[in-house]
Amino acid sequence: MKQVVTIPTSEMVNAAEKLAGATCASEWAGAELAAEENGEIRLPFSVFLDVLDVPIHIIDRSGLIRYVNPAWEVFMHDKKTEVLGHHINEVLRKSSYGFFFSIEESDGSRSVTHFDQKTYDSVAIATLEQGRPVSMFTYSTSNNKLIVTSVPIYREGKITYVLTSCTDITEFSDTRDRLEDAIQQNKLISDELKLYRTQYASSSIVGNSKVIGDLREMVSYVASTSATVLITGESGVGKEVVTKEIYNQSKRNSRPFIKVNCASIPENLMESELFGYEKGAFTGASKHGKIGLFELANTGTLLLDEIGELPKALQPKLLRVLQEREIMRVGGTAGIPVDVRLIAATNQNLEAMVQAGSFRKDLYYRLNIIPIRIPPLREHKEDIPLLAQHFLSQFNNEHGKNKKLTQGALSLMTEYNWPGNIREMENLLERLIIIGDESFITTTQIERILLGEDRRTVPTDGMSLREIMNDFEKAVLKNALETYGTTYKAAEALCSSQATIARKAKEYGLKWH
């Protein structure tokens, strides 16, 4: 599967620009080289390169590695004695590909050239062939954002060597996210006020979308009755939350609320758990007998979660309880009246189970007196900001934190389809609030969890280099369009023409304002 990445275009260009400026090749045009030793060249400034914590290597005009500093050895996990004299492409053969670009300045103006027609095995080789500084955006094996920049070293008008350095720009990107936080917080606060100014301020069902408004209205209506309710929806949509809301709004809210997960009780124990048993009913039974869950829930509410897992043999006995309003203990001889409001919940298609013969039709009709379907989160994404703020407030209070979401992080959450629904979002935000001391939850942190830790690595299996480059270019354009809103502003930021940006955005199916 191809990766989806967010590339901080402005940081990418600025970082590369600083590197190119700081290592300007023209400053070394007259540099005298020291004698070679064991295949390693020593420049007059090599002593400074040795102590830098930035990985640096130098190749000659043939592409052979002639120098690496200690930081490079640590970064690449290679000793210089093993790489000196070897071709750069041979040494970097296992490295990930990246997105190549070049920055040039003339008369105070700046232009950025993206190499989308020709690709290279390394930035250094690209510099040899282009005769100018070339940079590459990529990710490290630890998912950090990197800018790799190569600059030519001239002597007597000819390129003698190419110096390449690598800079981690992850912190630059995170800083950009933090700066955007102020705007995002205003939006979140506005949404939060809007939520609590509605008539549903006390409801545990969070959201202002129409489908959630309709759901709250249905819950309010159902709570005033004692009718049996069947709640359906995918895993994680909040079926138990809706059940508790019905209970809290009902006249039974001071009476017992009992929850039973039908999938968690062994089939041979299900009947005795639900209906209880008389003393001596079976081998190993308590001599005092046992009260079942229906009796414990008497005058209150009983939730049968995952009702689709109810054993077929037990279904007629549950049907009898619903019809007769009484239970029979295992080993008993007389019925015991019960006054229980029953709510059943499932993520399965009971109608299909009825057709397949695994669920009784008459029981289904008895349960389905008032059906409530809870929509998956992907069907009401407009509620994601409110849900996010709700969980942030809850978990910040619980764990003594004060973390906030950046605009980019919230945008990513809104675009995501949430196969695990609200429960997945809840777990994600609690995890991010607990882990780390940062004040902001960023796009990078969320991507690593939602998209998987390994999604940052460029996927080469089954993909051509052209396809890989296209993926990076698409990510750059997508980020620029989302950041600046129009093709004109995006073109200005990328030092390109509006026509080019519009054409490429259309090719990649990207949308803009």
How much is the pLDDT for 117? 37
Q: What is the CATH number of the domain that holds 246?
A: 3.40.50.300
Q: Could you tell me if 392 and 369 lie in one domain?
A: no
Query: Residue 495 domain-assigned?
Result: yes
| Measured distance CA(65)–CA(86) in Å, rounded | 6
Average pLDDT of the residues in 345-356? 94
DSSP conformation class of 435:
S
> Which of 174 and 424 is assigned the larger pLDDT?
424
Clarify whether residues 275 and 305 are in a common domain: yes
Is there a single domain that holds both residue 182 and residue 121?
no
3 state DSSP class of 136: strand
Burial class from Cβ neighbours inside 10 Å (0-12, 13-18, 19+) for residue 480 reads: buried
- pLDDT over 90, % of the chain: 35
pLDDT of residue 294: 95
**416 domain-assigned:** yes
Residue 446 is part of which domain span? 175-186+380-456
Residues 39-82: tens digit of each pLDDT: 566 666 667 788 888 899 999 999 999 999 998 998 888 888 88
Q: Are residues 70 and 99 in the same domain?
A: yes
Q: Based on the fold, state whether residues 74 and 216 are members of the same structural domain.
A: no
User: Distance between CA atoms of 35 and 44, rounded to whole angstroms?
Assistant: 11
pLDDT score recorded for residue 458: 44
- Region of 510 please: left (phi>0), alpha (psi -120 to 50) or beta: beta
Q: Where are the beta strands (DSSP E) in 340-459?
A: 341-346, 370-373, 404-405, 440-441
pLDDT higher than 60, residue 116: no
Domain contains 2: no
Whole-number Cα distances in Å, 118 to 99, 100, 112, 342: 11, 10, 15, 68
Is the pLDDT reported for residue 475 higher than 90? Answer: no
Instruction: Check whether 225 has a pLDDT greater than 60.
Output: yes
- Closest-CA residue to 411 (of 372, 374, 450): 450
Residues 438 and 418 in one domain: yes
- Asked if residue 199 is part of any domain, the answer here is no
Average pLDDT over residues 92-113: 56
141 has pLDDT over 80: no
State how far the alpha carbon of 230 is from the alpha carbons of 227, 307, 344, in Å: 10, 9, 5
**Predicted local distance difference test score (pLDDT) of residue 222:** 96
Closest of 348, 413, 349 to residue 385, by C-alpha? 413
Q: Which of 346, 377, 408 is the last residue of a domain?
A: 377
Task: Assess whether 365 and 266 both reside in one domain.
Answer: yes
Q: Is 330 contained in some domain?
A: yes
State which of 417, 433, 456 marks the end of a domain. Answer: 456
Of 377, 407, 436, the domain-final residue: 377
Average pLDDT, the chain: 79
Domain-located, residue 198: no
Half-sphere exposure of 332 (CA within 13 A, CB side): 18
Note whether 152 and 276 are same-domain residues: no
Residues 297 and 371 in one domain: yes
Residue 39 has phi, psi (to 5 degrees) of 80, 0
**Per-position DSSP letters for 83-120, written without gaps between them:** HTTSBHHHHTTTSPP-EEEEEEEETTEEEEEE--S---
Query: Are residues 135 and 231 both part of a single domain?
Result: no
* Residue 184, pLDDT score: 60
Instruction: Note whether 15 and 137 are same-domain residues.
Output: yes
* Residues 274 and 164 occupy one common structural domain: no
Residue 58 to residue 69: CA distance in whole angstroms: 9
Q: How many domains does the chain have?
A: 4
- Looking at residue 491, its pLDDT comes to 75
What is the pLDDT at residue 193? 47
The predicted structure's pLDDT at residue 502: 80
State residue 180's pLDDT score: 61
Res. 251 pLDDT band, cuts 50 70 90: very high
In a domain, 282, yes or no: yes
Asked if the structure places residue 296 within a domain, the reply is: yes
In CATH, what number is assigned to the domain containing residue 393?
A: 1.10.8.60
